[in-house]
Amino acid sequence: MQVGRLIALFTFIDGLAQGIYGTIFNLMLRTSGVSTTTVGQITSLFLWGSAIFGLFFGILADRVDKKQLLIATHILSIFFGTYRVITKSIFQLSLASFFFGGFATATSIVLSTMLILKTSKENRSQMLGLNFGIGMFTSVLGNVFGGILGELFPFKIILVTSSMCRIFGLIVLMKIKAGTLVLNNNRTENALNFFGTFSKIDYQTKRVVWYYFLSTMSVGFGAGLFVTFGNVIFYDLFHMNPSLIGTILAVAQLATSIGAVFSHKFGRRFGEMNVLIFSHVFVPVLIVILSFVREPITFTSVYILRFAVMNMVGPLLTATVFSNISTIYLSSINGMNSFLSNVSRALSAELFALLTRYSNGYTLIFVVSSFFYFLNAYVMIRMYKHLKE
């Protein structure tokens, strides 16, 4: 089986299990008496682990057998994901969250890099959109099943079971031929020597990379304030039950997955950068609306629309950027971009924990988030002008 298909199959299996897990985990913490502030701090540690370990393993991946690395990181992410459910210590929960985020991210970085390397410029946006759509679709199923199961069984049983089901992903990883995961170290650069290699890139490419990083950080700060806490937000604001929260998140991700699969067609018809700019200008306007609307149906509708419009164009941005960059810098730029994304999200999760201490905390969260999204829209417009030149 081709590498791309194996990656898509792994995305489906692991995404479904993690979708159920992600729907329930924060709700388990809140309903067991953990404060929203502490939930934010735990999420921040998860993201710090993603940033630090993602960068480290992105470097290590160029020096060791990638198949063995994938298997090892996946097993460890399953272990820590399970352990943080069963431990009764907040300290151990926080520590396990740090390692869980790190090892899960290490696996995804290697797989995403392989997917980009194994696609041509002509079909890259289509393949990335397809894989992204599969990931979102499994999240849809995960949210639905997670919500339903959350009404029927204790949260901890669901979390442990879904975490252990990720073991089936190992079967897929073992089918990937080791030879397909080996890159020529003489022709590639990694995040370790990023700053040294960055100076070698030509001016036009360097500008594209800078805009890509600025976009990643601005979206990371904006999204980290509330996207990761979607289930907590609906629980705190409207006291919704798990099945309803799961359904809302599922609808948002279903709309995103459909849009992502067909995003390359919108890009071809209207221009990829035109679609990106429309999305990134429209989204912060929707977030401003979320700042002040507290009627459940309107709030939910705007939340779903914002989620879908923003995330469905992610594959277009990735394809646009990497189509303007030589593959010898792929590992370096991809690793650094992942690091910046997780660092910005970790910092914004800390800000989330701080702002939720105030009575109007969620209003402040959405207002601050919209600022970063408006900043991202400006970055996209600048990148569009640069590419036209």
What H or E segment, with its residue span, contains residue 185? none
Question: DSSP letter string over 246-267?
Answer: HHHHHHHHHHHHHHHHHHHHHH
**Inside any domain, residue 183:** no
* For residues 368-384, average pLDDT: 92
Length of the chain in terms of residues written: 389
**Inside any domain, residue 182:** no
**Inside any domain, residue 171:** yes
- Distances, alpha carbon 274 to alpha carbons 130, 351, 388, in Å: 21, 32, 12
Is 222's pLDDT higher than 70? yes
* For residues 4-27, average pLDDT: 87
Return the closest-CA partner of residue 311 out of 366, 261, 269, 367: 261
- Distances, alpha carbon 317 to alpha carbons 216, 217, 263, 300, in Å: 10, 14, 10, 26
**Inside any domain, residue 184:** no
- One-letter amino acid at 11 equals T
In this predicted structure, what is the pLDDT of residue 180?
47
In this predicted structure, what is the pLDDT of residue 125?
62
Contacts of 324 (CB under 8 A, 6+ apart): 204, 205, 208, 387
C-alpha to C-alpha distance for 210 and 281, rounded to whole angstroms? 20
Is 183's pLDDT higher than 70? no
How is residue 324 written in tokens? Answer: 């303007």
C-alpha to C-alpha distance for 73 and 317, rounded to whole angstroms? 27
**Inside any domain, residue 185:** no
CB 82, CB 160: distance < 8 Å: yes
Residue in the structure block whose two tokens are 């894989």: 131
- Burial, 357: exposed, middle or buried (Cβ in 10 Å; 0-12, 13-18, 19+)? exposed
In this predicted structure, what is the pLDDT of residue 184?
46
- 136 CA to centre of own chain: 10
Return the closest-CA partner of residue 331 out of 48, 62, 12, 18: 62
- Burial, 241: exposed, middle or buried (Cβ in 10 Å; 0-12, 13-18, 19+)? middle
Count of the separate structural domains present in the chain: 1
Is 235's pLDDT higher than 70? yes
**Inside any domain, residue 94:** yes
CATH assignment at residue 338: 1.20.1250.20
Is 313's pLDDT higher than 70? yes
- Which pLDDT band, with edges at 50, 70 and 90, does 129 fall under? low
What H or E segment, with its residue span, contains residue 209? helix 203-224
Tell me which residue range forms the domain holding 315: 3-175+190-388
* For residues 294-299, average pLDDT: 94
pLDDT digits (tens, 9 = 90+) for 185-208: 444 455 555 666 666 777 788 888
Contacts of 338 (CB under 8 A, 6+ apart): 50, 51, 54, 55, 58, 105, 109
* For residues 229-242, average pLDDT: 86
**Inside any domain, residue 267:** yes
CB 255, CB 378: distance < 8 Å: no
C-alpha to C-alpha distance for 24 and 329, rounded to whole angstroms? 38
Contacts of 54 (CB under 8 A, 6+ apart): 102, 105, 106, 109, 335, 338, 339, 342
**Inside any domain, residue 181:** no
Quote the pTM value.
Answer: 0.76
